[in-house]
Amino acid sequence: MATPPDPAGRLTVYAATGLEAWAARRVLPRGVAVARVGVGLREWPRPAPGPFVSCGLAGALVPEIAPGAVLIPGWVGLPTGERFPCDPHLVAALVAAARALGHEPATGPLVTTPRLVTGPARREWAARGFVAADMESGLLLSWHPRGAVVRVALDAPRRDLSPAWASPGRVALVPWLWPQALRVAAVAPAYALRAAAVVRAAHDGLQVAD
């Protein structure tokens, strides 16, 4: 169940998957609302009424961004061509927090797509100026502008994923994908915790009033 955002304007952290929500709840202080929204917002019940951070994992689109890199985009696009700027106050607080933790974040634009971006699709989106992709942040920003994004790159052009990951349950049935599954299982929790740690480090600066 999603936690309703605080109507007084407190920060809400949105996470797509159970792993990402677990990481946020483990790292963030009590009192910060964490809502699991599902991949592509499949479990999100309503638009966000207050400031938020979309926190979790993403796919890098350009070779200079390696797995484990922190991503804090200035704006997010959709395949329709729409662009949504992230809240500059939130972005500045998150960038400063990432640097304080020893991470130089990539701040190029992110694209939100309806399906996993792998293979040639990475190059196609990179050619349009995007450095990373997810499946939720642009949709969140399209409903409410007071948001920002912290993602950590799980995969990248040099560490590509099979398109089968669009349906993770199929991966267990394909033996040649098991090495990918083992790699993802090994790094995904640490990367999700890294994204949440950036939000935690910026927590005081993110407590903005309406």
pLDDT, one tens digit per residue, over 52-99 is 999 999 999 999 999 999 999 999 999 999 999 999 999 999 999 999
Half-sphere exposure in the Cβ direction for 185 (13 Å, CA): 9
Residue 90 pLDDT:
94
Alpha-carbon distance of 91 to 141, in angstroms, equals: 13
Low-confidence ranges of the chain (pLDDT < 50): 1-8, 171, 176, 208-210
